[in-house]
Amino acid sequence: MAKLNIIKYGDDTLRRVCRPVDNITPRTLTLLDDMIETMHAAEGCGLAAPQVGVLRRIVVVEVEEGHPIELINPRIIAYAGEQREEEGCLSLPGQWGITVRPAHVTVRALNRRGEEFDVTGSDLLARALCHELDHLDGKLFIDRLEKK
């Protein structure tokens, strides 16, 4: 595994829409492993492939230590409620702001074996899933800051 460079705000890559993963290859699996290592090293709870310069629909999230969630081609299939919380991003170090996100979400994705699965999360997990999936469409948390 290798620690990857996290792209910072201002790099156009963060504003691009990612392409789906058509085939899960050994390179995909290495990317997942490297993204988890990078997320841990940066002390984050999520990381999306475009944040490490890869324009593919791949995300890792870990809000419960030791239980990373790997998502390939994820999409939100259900959401409910609302939460207003402070949010930050590994690509915008030192920046924080209040955003409004769903309180509960269900995401459907492929795992590293190409099997479809659903993950349902509330509170921080819901927030992390929404935040990381936004990256896949070129959106950043600063685009969702609550207006004062």
Q: Say if CB 111 and CB 63 are below 8 A apart.
A: no
Residues 47-80: pLDDT tens digits? Answer: 999 999 999 999 999 999 999 999 999 999 999 9
Burial state string for 12-51 with b = 16 or more CB within 10 A and e = fewer than 16: ebbeeebeebeebeeebeebbbbbbbbbbebebbbbbbbb
In the block, tokens 């050994």 appear at: 26
Options 62, 70, 87, 132, the catalytic residue? 132
Active site residue 132: yes
Q: Say if CB 13 and CB 140 are below 8 A apart.
A: no
pTM of the model: 0.95
Residues 84-125: pLDDT tens digits? Answer: 999 999 999 999 999 999 999 999 999 999 999 999 999 999
- Which CATH number applies to 12-144? 3.90.45.10
